[in-house]
Amino acid sequence: MAELSMRTTAAELGVGAMSLYRYVKDREALERLVVDHVLASVDTESTPRTSWDKQITCLAENMRKAVGAHPSVVPLLMLHRHASSEVKRCSEAFLRILTEGGFNGRQRAIALRTLVSYLMGALQAQHLGPLGGPGTEVMTKLLPDEYPLLAATAKVARRIGPDEEFRSGIDIVLRGLAYIREHD
């Protein structure tokens, strides 16, 4: 998010760069405000009598939708996870659902990190290298004797939409977390 600077923000607002410092301490504080603004619309209320995995999927989809409207914010989410009130609010919601789903202690910590890692990775992949994008198209043309599996997989992958990719991936993650919860 190199284009986010005090100078460009001030220009966008039609004020001098130094004027911003009356409201925002530095670029880091500005980035946190952007993250908070993007995530403020995320509905973190869970649905009673819905399984923990369906609640997690719903929350992850809500975050995906909010961030999808502003994909440049993805790198800032992890960078400011400790300081952004909205990242903490979303994390607390994930933890509440996990706790109600029977995760505690180490399992809960690892489950949260796994969910956040999947969500951030999926968002980056969707916006920087979508399955239906030019990179996948290039891989479909790889020499079959050199990369037979990669070429064949790319031909299938280019027809998988972002919603199917995301939902299938989170389903795999959640099944793995359920297994760990039961067998750890």
pLDDT at position 3, please?
A: 65
Tell me the C-alpha distance between 65 and 137, whole Å: 26
**Which residue shows structure tokens 């199917």?**
164
pLDDT beneath 50: ranges in the chain: none
Report yes or no: 84 and 33 within 8 Å, Cβ to Cβ: no
pLDDT at position 72, please?
A: 86
pLDDT at position 28, please?
A: 86
Task: Provide CB contacts within 8 A for 22, sequence distance 6+.
Answer: none
Cα 52 to Cα 4, 37, 98, 101, 141: the distances in Å are: 37, 27, 7, 5, 42
pTM of the model: 0.86
Cα 146 to Cα 34, 134, 141, 151, 166: the distances in Å are: 45, 20, 11, 9, 29
Compute CA 102 distance to the chain's CA centroid, rounded to the nearest angstrom. 24
Tell me the C-alpha distance between 177 and 58, whole Å: 16
Architecture of domain 6-183: Orthogonal Bundle (1.10)
Compute CA 100 distance to the chain's CA centroid, rounded to the nearest angstrom. 22
Q: CA-based angle 81:84:90, to the nearest 5?
A: 75
pLDDT at position 162, please?
A: 94
pLDDT at position 53, please?
A: 97
pLDDT at position 10, please?
A: 63
pLDDT at position 6, please?
A: 65
Q: Residue 5 corresponds to which tokens in the numbers above? A: 């600077």
Domain definitions of the chain by residue range: 6-183
